[in-house]
Amino acid sequence: MKISLDWISDFVDLEGVPPHELAERLTLATAEVEDIHPVRRHTQGVLVGRVTACEAIEGQPPDGLKRVEVDCGARRYESVCGAPNVTLGMVSAFAPAGITLAGGVVITEQTLAGRRSEGVLCSAAELGMSHWHEGILEIPESMPVGTPLDTLIPPEDVVIEIDNKSLTHRPDLWGHYGFAREIAVILDRPLKSLPIYDLSQFESLPPYPLEVASFDDCPCYGCIDLRFRAGVPSPLWMQRRLHALGQRTFNLAVDVTNYVMWELAQPTHAFDGDRLRKIRVASLGEEGVFVTLDGQERRILPDDLLIWNEKEPVALAGIMGGLHSEVSRETQHVLLECANFRADRVRRTSVRLDLRTEAAQRFEKSQPPANVVAAAGRILHCLILADEPFQALSRFTVAGDPDAGHRPLLMDWAQVDRMAGITVPRDEARRILIGLGFQVASRQGLLELGIPPHRSRRDLSIPADVVEEILRIYGYGRIEPRLPVAPLEHLPVNEGLQREHRVRRVLAGAHQFVEVQNYIWFDLRRLEELGFEPQDCLRLRNPPARHNVALRTTLVPNLLALVRPNRAHRDGFRLFEIGRVFRAADQGRQERTFLAGVAYQPARSDPEELVRGIRGALEDLALSLAGSAFRFEPAREDVSPWWKRGSSLVIHGDSGTVGAIGLLTGDVLKAVVPDGQVAWFELDLEALPVVVHPAVKYAAIPIFPGSWQDFSLLWDAARGFAELESVLDRFVHPLIARREFLYRFKGKGLPPGKASYTFRYHLAAPDHTLSAEEIDAFRGEFLRHLQSHQIVLR
């Protein structure tokens, strides 16, 4: 929204208030000012002139030029003009030689197409009024020739631009009068009333035929049938203000409706009255096509709201008129529509058609229906200001409820102070409310209010809304900050978050993992490369991209996708992510927090080391999170392309399966990375116990020295470590304090297929120093156990 201070000054005295100060105060009290644009027009020395001769110059390039004579009162000038709209008898703006126009162009006497030119007829752009340069300025014929243009169009104005996002709840601020009211209250200066033509004097005239199908979509529709010269140029005061806001000007009927929209925020529409007989407001009821006045064919859905002339649609309600009922230069008969349309109906249609007109933008903000009558009266008043006689052919005909009265609200004065946290002087509060248009009465601590009809019901209906009105003008900066007082109480920590933070500390703090975050949707193209078809996905109706339609059920694929780009930057790395996964099937627990990671190392390295590295990190994690160890068991089934038998281990916690860890092999490895090794893991964090501070049982430090014994066992390498470990687990002996795996040896000197596994047994007794006999006895029993499993020492 742009506001011209020239226009605001019609209603509030801005004397002595610099624009930047006004902008600052508006930002703090009303809505955010985005920018301040100074407007500089080049109207000094330019004269009002009538074209008294106009003939095409034949046979002299460039084509399309006309020789004109311009009567400027004191003098008659010769000139050459190429504007398409120049006609004999029209009144326009003439800049004689010596005048500087916009962009620093100095007008000189010259010969053009063989004709003398003593100056130029000017477009709005040449005068610095706007960017429009499709033709020369058109001035009402009644304007005396020779009038200096700068007496009609002052050279300077300031336009303040307001952030539209801060006006979504304030339909009244989409017009200048709304802002003038705010500024008057902010500056504590009087607000001049807006002169409005009294429509009641037409009550004796017949109503215009009008039918509204649903007051739901169109709460109030008003129209009046008028006769006036709709196609003549609008007065310069109207044109200059519309131009200052970047609006194009057309003719009196169109300009006056735009002018009043920019003043009162109420969009209206001027139809060619000869083309209409009866107005009907109704939706199409079926799909169809409508040609808007910009000549575009628009596809219409069954519930889009249209304005009809009997059986022919003539406008897209609240958005744009139709091509065939547009006002033209010759129009003398106008049907003026002042109506209110439901915000979301207008928004849906305008968004779908991408037709974000000034009218649509305003209706979308829920314009109050009260403006239906006010805008019509204001338009007629502007016709009088424009010195353009008019005749009403009908009364102002209204269907629906204009809701034009003040709305009562009773509240407690004390609520103002309670919500502010300070004492707001009541005189000041009363002044503010009255300035904003409220009716205010005060009785025994109660505040009896009438909410002004120009304010939307959505924005102003409860006491809290009123408190906001008082405080924003009173000044939030005058409220002294204070801290609330609360009783001491114990607040339990969020155990889920504690667990997540602890995971980060263990993995990133001790195991060189780097934390990443991925999107919560799969990339279906990547899943196809991996050969993974996810089951039970939640799906998006409007995904960010077609291949992102499914929410992730596992964190692993998106992490695997990071391996290839990152290996260009690092020889090896470990990544992890904590994030939500979603499953459609799990009733009640569809959303869970998972932890997953990937590790990458170059092809020539030892893949066992890669897996053992992240397994070690997970073993630390188990200890830190729950105080107990994970169990790792070979996967017995293929769960996904990465979670497969032979290359994965299932991880068990105290409560059951919590996740898995594995090494990528075969096709899935190739799909992830052309060379190198990749290991992965994934844990359901919510399946782990939440123990913020795990209980630890102190074990007495042995008083009597123990002993340790190393054994190197020959074992079938193909059977794997886990099976050997389970054999050792079965050997229970009271002297064993701890068993430690030292290393595995493969290679020369061993029987084929065998590897040597070296373990260290720590032996101790709580009440005495071990004797040689005891140790020998242990060795004997242990070796017998090994023998029973066909295990020999190396």
Partner 1 sequence: MEDIWRQLEAELDRAKSLPEIEQVRIKYLGRKGVITVLAKNTDFGKLSAEEKKSFGQRLNSLKSRAEEAVRAAAERASREAVPQDGATGGPDLSLPGTDRRLGAMHPISLVQRELEDIFQGMGFRVLTGYEVETEYYNFDALNIPPDHPARDMQDTFWLEDGRLLRTHTSANQVRALEQFGAPIRAIFPGRCFRNEAMDASHENTFYQLEGLLVDRDISVAHLIGVMKTLLSAVFHKEVTVRLRPGFFPFVEPGFELDVQCLICGGVGCATCKRSGWIELIPCGLVHPRVLEFGRVDTSAFSGFAFGLGLTRLAMMKFGIPDIRLFNSGDIRFCEQFPVSM
Name which of residues 471 to 500 contact partner 1 (CB under 8 A). Answer: 471-472, 476-477, 479-484, 486, 489, 491-494, 496-497
C-alpha angle 712-714-718 in degrees, rounded to nearest 5: 130
Indicate whether 535 belongs to the interface with partner 1 (CB under 8 A): no
Indicate whether 411 belongs to the interface with partner 1 (CB under 8 A): no
Tell me the residue ranges of DSSP E strands in 87-240: 91-96, 110-112, 115-117, 119-121, 156-162, 210-212, 220-227
**Contact window for partner 1 (CB under 8 A) among 205-213, 394-402, 563-571, 671-679:** 563-571
Indicate whether 421 belongs to the interface with partner 1 (CB under 8 A): yes
C-beta closer to partner 1: residue 195 or 616: 616
C-beta closer to partner 1: residue 488 or 700: 488
Q: Residue 724 is inside which H or E element, if any?
A: helix 721-729
Indicate whether 448 belongs to the interface with partner 1 (CB under 8 A): no
C-beta closer to partner 1: residue 170 or 269: 170
C-beta closer to partner 1: residue 245 or 578: 578
C-beta closer to partner 1: residue 455 or 644: 455
Concatenating the DSSP letter of every residue in 351-372 gives HHHT---HHHHHHTT---TTHH
Indicate whether 227 belongs to the interface with partner 1 (CB under 8 A): no
Indicate whether 513 belongs to the interface with partner 1 (CB under 8 A): yes
Phi/psi region, residue 421 (left: phi>0; alpha: psi -120 to 50; beta: rest), is left
C-beta closer to partner 1: residue 479 or 793: 479
Find, among 28, 26, 23, 139, the residue nearest to 87 by Cα: 139
Indicate whether 176 belongs to the interface with partner 1 (CB under 8 A): no
Interhelix angle for 607-626 vs 495-510, to 10°? 140
C-beta closer to partner 1: residue 170 or 395: 170
Concatenating the DSSP letter of every residue in 33-87 gives EEEEEEEE---TT-EEEEEEEEEE--SSSSTT-EEEEEE-SS-EEEEEE--TT--
The two three-digit tokens of residue 738, written as one number: 């701890």
Indicate whether 29 belongs to the interface with partner 1 (CB under 8 A): yes
The DSSP code for 318 is: T
Tell me the pairing of strands 66-71 and 76-81. antiparallel
Using CB under 8 A, which of 574, 714, 759, 791 touches partner 1?
A: 574
Indicate whether 414 belongs to the interface with partner 1 (CB under 8 A): no
Minimum distance, C-beta of residue 610 to partner 1, in the bound complex (Å): 16
Phi/psi region, residue 104 (left: phi>0; alpha: psi -120 to 50; beta: rest), is left
Using CB under 8 A, which of 204, 517, 587, 726 touches partner 1?
A: 517
**Contact window for partner 1 (CB under 8 A) among 90-98, 325-333, 567-575, 649-657:** 567-575
C-beta closer to partner 1: residue 81 or 595: 595
Using CB under 8 A, which of 42, 66, 347, 395 touches partner 1?
A: 347
Q: Which parts of 657-686 interact with partner 1 (CB under 8 A)?
A: none
C-beta closer to partner 1: residue 565 or 749: 565
C-beta closer to partner 1: residue 60 or 590: 590
C-beta closer to partner 1: residue 468 or 533: 468
Residue whose pair of structure tokens reads 């990937």 in the numeric block: 598
Q: How far is CA 783 from CA 584, 712, 776, in A?
A: 54, 11, 11
Q: How many CB atoms lie within 10 A of CB 779?
A: 14
**Contact window for partner 1 (CB under 8 A) among 203-211, 541-549, 705-713, 738-746:** 541-549
C-beta closer to partner 1: residue 257 or 361: 361
Q: Which parts of 242-301 interact with partner 1 (CB under 8 A)?
A: none
Indicate whether 723 belongs to the interface with partner 1 (CB under 8 A): no
Minimum distance, C-beta of residue 672 to partner 1, in the bound complex (Å): 14
**Contact window for partner 1 (CB under 8 A) among 2-10, 143-151, 340-348, 782-790:** 340-348
Q: Which parts of 755-794 interact with partner 1 (CB under 8 A)?
A: none
d(CA 106, CA 125): 15
Q: Is 154 in contact with 6 (CB distance < 8 Å)? A: yes
The gap from C-alpha 724 to its chain's centroid, in whole angstroms, comes to 61
**Contact window for partner 1 (CB under 8 A) among 314-322, 342-350, 642-650, 753-761:** 342-350
Tell me the pairing of strands 573-582 and 514-515. parallel
Indicate whether 410 belongs to the interface with partner 1 (CB under 8 A): no
C-beta closer to partner 1: residue 59 or 565: 565
Using CB under 8 A, which of 2, 10, 17, 28 touches partner 1?
A: 28
**Contact window for partner 1 (CB under 8 A) among 354-362, 518-526, 655-663, 757-765:** 518-526
Q: How far is CA 2 from CA 35, 127, 174, 541, in A?
A: 9, 20, 9, 38
**Contact window for partner 1 (CB under 8 A) among 167-175, 210-218, 316-324, 673-681:** 167-175
DSSP-assigned beta bridge partners for residue 307? 281, 315
Q: Is the peptide bond before 62 cis (omega within 30 degrees of 0)?
A: yes
Find, among 529, 526, 422, 519, the residue nearest to 480 by Cα: 422
Using CB under 8 A, which of 21, 63, 515, 723 touches partner 1?
A: 515
Using CB under 8 A, which of 169, 248, 754, 789 touches partner 1?
A: 169
d(CA 109, CA 111): 7
Indicate whether 455 belongs to the interface with partner 1 (CB under 8 A): no
Indicate whether 505 belongs to the interface with partner 1 (CB under 8 A): yes
Q: Is 11 in contact with 192 (CB distance < 8 Å)? A: yes
Indicate whether 703 belongs to the interface with partner 1 (CB under 8 A): no
Indicate whether 509 belongs to the interface with partner 1 (CB under 8 A): yes
Using CB under 8 A, which of 398, 575, 660, 664 touches partner 1?
A: 575
Minimum distance, C-beta of residue 507 to partner 1, in the bound complex (Å): 7
Indicate whether 422 belongs to the interface with partner 1 (CB under 8 A): yes
d(CA 52, CA 346): 47
Q: Residue 760 is inside which H or E element, if any?
A: strand 754-763
Residue 164 φ/ψ, nearest 5 degrees: -60, -30
Interhelix angle for 252-264 vs 236-244, to 10°? 60
d(CA 329, CA 138): 12
Residue whose pair of structure tokens reads 């109480």 in the numeric block: 489
Indicate whether 18 belongs to the interface with partner 1 (CB under 8 A): no
Minimum distance, C-beta of residue 536 to partner 1, in the bound complex (Å): 12
Minimum distance, C-beta of residue 163 to partner 1, in the bound complex (Å): 10
Indicate whether 573 belongs to the interface with partner 1 (CB under 8 A): yes
d(CA 589, CA 151): 75
Q: How many CB atoms lie within 10 A of CB 429?
A: 24
Q: Which parts of 350-389 interact with partner 1 (CB under 8 A)?
A: 351
**Contact window for partner 1 (CB under 8 A) among 199-207, 248-256, 543-551, 775-783:** 543-551
Find, among 321, 355, 316, 356, the residue nearest to 336 by Cα: 321
d(CA 673, CA 141): 80
d(CA 539, CA 134): 52
Minimum distance, C-beta of residue 513 to partner 1, in the bound complex (Å): 4
3-state secondary structure of 152: coil
Q: Which parts of 578-637 interact with partner 1 (CB under 8 A)?
A: 580, 582, 584, 590-591
The two three-digit tokens of residue 540, written as one number: 């998006």
Number of residues binding to partner 1, judged by CB under 8 A: 84
C-beta closer to partner 1: residue 67 or 170: 170
Minimum distance, C-beta of residue 593 to partner 1, in the bound complex (Å): 9
